[in-house]
A and B are shown apart, each in its own frame.
Chain A
Amino acid sequence: MRPADLLASSWRAIRSHKMRSALTMLGIVVGIASVVLTVGLGLGTQKDVSEQIAALGSDLLIVSPGSSTDESGMRGGFGSGETLTLTDAEALASEVAVPDAGDVAPEKTASLSLEYGESNWTTDVTGTTTSWTEVRSRDLLYGSFFTADDAEAGASVIVLGAETAQELFGTTSVVGQEVTIDGEALEVVGVLAEAGSSGETSLDDLAVVPMTTMVEQLDDSGNSESVDTIYVKAASSDSLSAASQETTSLLLNLHGLASADDADFTVEVQDSLLDAATSVYEKLTVLLTGIAALALLVGGIGVMNIMLVSVTERTREIGLRKALGAAPANIRNQFLIEAMILGLSGGAVGVIIGVGLALALPSVLGSTIVVSGLALVVSVVVAVGIGAVFGVYPAARAARLAPIDALRDQ
């Protein structure tokens, strides 16, 4: 039998049962459409997160006190949280020791209560240097950041996050007003532009003061030298790993440590946050794909079910074809190709619907859906494969029918 005739024969059988063929395809259509959507949603969310993290700057090193514990839990040791000092931060800012680093900003943060008239609001107050806006990629909404002179002198000035200003004053236009912390009056010199949130923590509920002001007037932790974090911005994103190495060796040196294994601090690259987020969304994608795979399984079982009905219903036709000279393989292939055509058409319609929804949904849901060409091709191949896999059993049943039994069937 010629392949073209085989194909024509299968196609005719599908066309002569339009309603049934359409219903059989439906399961595959739903399955493939959901694969396209879920994979697209997973990829889209991942893209959103990458963009958010990239906006924070992927050229940033975050130095924290204490050593990170690896999976085995064997490293560690210090982790006292007080191993980074202002001296470390000043050393890192030196161009000689760390040529690949640009701006450096230490942070010393305490949760403090801010008062204005009758209202008060507790927020994280951070002492830092003038490099902070550059390093943390922040802009001012009103006023200006504190100056180098303010920082030098430990001036009583404060910069508020937009949300903090709103909570305290009921407005964000508060430059020139005074807030009181622990009885110390500080003048508001600037209000930060909104930056949204990163995970749980709002980036807009905070207050920033010069490091000297923090140490001398506000902090009562008793350890005036220690800092919580030092942000080091690489000169460019290309020099990030060089900057990371230079930072590590300088700090090891300053802390009198011989090897990186003994480090009492951790240097993290912003990218590792990206990796963490990516792995979360990869897991999400796997989960969603699993659900879609279940939908496809159900679709495949639907194909098998209908093909079995079709074999039973067409017993006489099968008998006749055999009487006229069809070999078992001819009959098997006809049913197999029917199942594959159903898979292919179901897959194609599913892809069209999936892409249609992927284009329509983002404006409703507000989330990005990335339609990947590879995912579409794979979906259609999978749909054909499902037709083949679930068509094998019915096709084999048809091929095995004895011609006399089949012809006698009424």
Chain B
Amino acid sequence: MSAPVIELSGARKTYHTGDIEFEALRGIDCRIFPGEYVAIVGPSGSGKSTLMNILGCLDVLTSGRYVLAGEDVSQMDEVALASARNRRIGFVFQQFHLLASLTAVGNVELPLVYAGIPPAERRERAMVALERVGLGDKSRNHPGQLSGGQQQRVAIARALVTEPAIVLADEPTGNLDSHSTRDVLGMLDDLHAEGSTIVLITHESDVAARAGTVYNVTDGQFVGAGTGIAK
């Protein structure tokens, strides 16, 4: 097998709120390989989003090691982390997080803007990504002119446009109706089939059931770690 995209060893994260310390991650070890579709399930407050922030280079570990696509990111500074997020990670958030002032294609272009790609190439790649999620005809619409499911698909296109090492989706269907949920999950299935590496975070086990590998988190630890559930 090829080298892992993600390699976490002894990952711990402690939050400090005033004098109170809270250990949100208590020693997690995990390896995710290219092309894998991994779901992380657990009850609310178990540490899923904390883990997602670490995996997405939005935050750093208190102790332990995190290697992303061969780069040790555990001790990176803000500037290096920003660059790692830009090049390696595609985010899909529960609240979509699209900028209302930009069109669909403008939103999809945004990661390429921070990568310093020239406008013509940017536009072309963003259009390709939008067509991949089936929204080629809505490229000039603003988020307010799109349904929830369509907005989340724009967000998926934005996550794909940089061809990241990994797509991180935190409760991507949490704000969607059942029709749009099926739509978005089907989209992730397609991406997986086309070879993308996906980490899906959810508290719903039926959503997790679509993934090749499911990790159950409880109190900041994996329980019954890494057992694959048949598709």
Contact = CB atoms under 8 A, between A and B. Distances in A.
Give the residue among B110, B113, B158 with the most A Cβ atoms within 10 A. B113
Contacts of A316: 97
A328 B91 contact: no
Nearest to A17: B101
Interface string A299-325: 000000000000000001101111111
Given A5-B113, A12-B101, A404 B58 contact: yes
Contact of B87 (A12, A323, A325, A328): A325
A385 interface: no
Nearest to A399: B78
A5 B83 CA distance: 17
Interface stretch (B31-39, B114-122, B201-209, B221-229): B114-122
A13 interface: yes
Is the contact region of chain A dominated by helix, strand, or loop, or is it mixed?
helix
B53 interface: yes
Contact of B82 (A2, A9, A325): A325
Interface in B65-113: 78-79, 82-83, 85-87, 91, 93, 97, 99, 101-102, 110-111, 113
Contacts of B110: 321, 324
Contact of B79 (A317, A320, A327): A327
A112 interface: no
Given A12-B101, A407-B93, A324 B114 contact: yes
Contact of B114 (A13, A16, A321, A402): A321
Interface residues of A, number: 25
B116 A2 contact: yes
A326 B85 CA distance: 9
B58 A324 contact: no
Contacts of B113: 1-2, 5, 9
Given A323-B56, A324-B86, A324-B91, A330 B78 contact: no
B170 to A, nearest CB: 10
Interface of B: 53, 56, 58-59, 78-79, 82-83, 85-87, 91, 93, 97, 99, 101-102, 110-111, 113-116, 118-119, 158
User: Which 3 residue pairs spanning A and B have beta carbons closest together?
Assistant: A325-B86, A325-B114, A327-B82
Interface of A: 1-2, 5, 9, 12-13, 16, 316-317, 319-330, 402-404, 407
